[in-house]
Amino acid sequence: MKVGLRIFLGYFLIVALAAFLLMRVFVAEVKPGVRQAMEDTLVDTANVLAELATADFLSGHIGDGEFARRVRALRGRQVDADIWGLRKHGTSYRVYVTDARGIVVFDSDGIAVGQDYSRWNDVYLTLRGRYGARSTPNDPGDERSSVMYVAAPLHDARGRIVGVLTVAKPNRAIAPVIARSQAVVLRWGVLLLGIALLIGLLVAWWLSRQLGGLRRYAHAVTAGERATPPKAVGEFDELGRALETMRNRLEGKQYVEQYVHTLTHEMKSPLAAIRGSAELLEESGGQAMDTADRARFAASIRMQSDRLAQMIDKLLALAAVEHRQRLENREAIDAGELLQSVREQCEPRLARNGLRLDLEIADGVSPLHGDAFLLRQALVNLVENAADFSPDGASIRLRAQRDATGVRFDVLDEGPGVPDYALGRVFERFYSLPRPEGGSRSSGLGLCFVAEVAALHGGTATLANRAEHGARATLMVASS
């Protein structure tokens, strides 16, 4: 399972659990909260009605006095109230009064007059000077039939409790309010949960993207590919820079070790030739040596010295290219000027063998973007390599054209071509083929340099035989 999915699932679990608990708390608190508000209102109502009923109660007219008449008339009053979107069309109060013994002496519904209510909490507690209230279902099997009762004491002139007035209101009267509040809480809870999950999904995607970039970079480094640390922020950016620094240091050590090993191996052959020629010259001592032999040994020393110098120069150039992971700055390059500079640089080398370099530039090639110096050196290497295998007086073609993937440079010669066994190895470091007519091998670094320059420009380098004769070396530069 990917780390991004794990993060999202963990976040989802935490958010879902927290939302579930909060929703349960909110929903569970809605009903008690509304009932508490109703009870507070009933307390005020009971005390107001107790003050209004005291005179009729003390005079013995609580059942047929003005108070009883007005309370009974309440049931016929038309109410048209819009309470936060809920319509109310009538009242749902019940009022009853008991004497000091708890016997009902007035009931607005007329159903309990004469009954003993002294054991109900609202009456029992109030007669003893305490707050009296209760919630009792009319139908014991139906909780929704519960009614809330709140009582207030009736006092005589001396302040003694002589009766109790109770106001009752069915809890179902506030059921729509509770249902609406719960619906609002649930609706907003679901919305907030959805938003939280969306944020979690975005965060998980972002973390997965950052980690995925670092993972791909690490795989590319492991595979020995050119790669740049992914663009990131915060700790991920620091991690990417740390990986890049570690890579550079490790590659630097391995690079030096590899180059020292290969360089010493390749230098053995020319050094042995120089040593052998020098020893022969020394052994002659004062004896006369044939002029031709002396010239041959001296030429061998000079040739091998030139080979060493050339190898070191190309090795340094190759090391500079191989160590670069990318082109920092790409410049616009005119293809015509680039190829002309290649011709000028190769002209002395070509003139020695009477070779001719023909330039072919297709329309739409310029401008191309890259490093002009590196491209020029790479093309010079391809031309010089073609010159090494071309017969005297032959022509070499250097052409540039643009296709869907970028700019393509081709160097075509009229030489013998490349042996089949060498086609897959010509771009290896220090791999070189013998030159025609016994010419000395090259350093084996030129084509490797070309391949590295092509990779820096997002392209490739290839060498293949032509159908007619000769070989075709290609350098591709990707479109920027």
Please state, in angstroms and rounded to a whole number, the distance separating the CA atoms of residues 177 and 183.
10
Residue 423 lies in a domain: yes
Q: Dihedral sign, CA of 29, 33, 35, 39?
A: positive
Given this model, what pLDDT does residue 89 score? 65
Place of tokens 């640089």: 345
Residue 306 structure tokens: 């030139």
Range of the domain at 451: 327-480
Distance, in Å, from the CA atom of 395 to the CA atom of 383, rounded to the nearest integer, reads: 11
Beta bridge partners of 64: none
At 197, the amino acid letter reads L
Report CA-CA distances (Å) from 411 to 39, 288, 396.
Answer: 98, 50, 7
Report the 10 Å Cβ neighbour count for 333.
20
Q: Is 250 a member of any domain?
A: no
212 lies in some domain: no
Residue where a domain terminates, one of 180, 206, 224: 180
Say if 261 falls within a structural domain.
no
**Which residue do the tokens 């002294």 mark?**
118
What pLDDT, on the 0 to 100 scale, is given for residue 144?
76
- Residue 199, in any domain of the structure: no
CATH (domain of 460): 3.30.565.10
Res 255: pLDDT = 47
Q: Indicate whether 131 belongs to any domain.
A: yes
Q: Determine if the peptide bond prior to 170 is cis (ω within 30°).
A: no
Quote the CA–CA distance of 152 and 123 in Å, as a whole number. 9
Q: Return d(Cα 162, Cα 156) in angstroms, integer.
A: 6
pLDDT number for residue 46 = 95
Angle made by CA atoms 80, 81, 82, in degrees to the nearest 5: 130
Q: Is the pTM of this model over 0.85?
A: no
Please indicate, yes or no, if residue 63 is contained in any of the structural domains.
Answer: yes
Instruction: Indicate the residue among 180, 215, 234 that finishes a domain.
Output: 180
Structure tokens at 464: 């293949």
- Domain end point (choices 180, 198, 214): 180
Q: How many CA atoms lie within 13 A of 172 on its CB side?
A: 10
Q: What's the token pair of residue 434?
A: 């013998």
* Total of domains in the chain: 2
pLDDT at residue number 149: 95
Judge whether 468 lies within some domain. Answer: yes
Tens digit of each residue's pLDDT, the chain (480 residues): 566 666 767 777 777 777 777 667 766 666 777 788 888 999 999 999 999 999 999 999 999 999 999 998 887 777 777 776 667 766 788 999 999 999 999 999 989 999 999 999 999 999 999 999 999 988 877 877 889 999 999 999 999 999 999 999 998 877 777 777 777 777 887 887 788 778 877 877 777 777 777 777 777 766 666 666 677 666 667 676 676 666 665 554 454 555 555 555 456 556 666 777 676 666 665 455 666 766 766 766 776 666 566 556 655 655 555 555 566 667 888 888 888 888 888 888 788 888 888 888 888 887 888 888 778 888 888 888 888 888 888 889 999 888 888 888 999 998 888 888 888 888 777 677 766 665 555 666 778 778 888 888 888 888 888 887 889 999 888 876
Residue 27: CATH number of its domain = 3.30.450.20
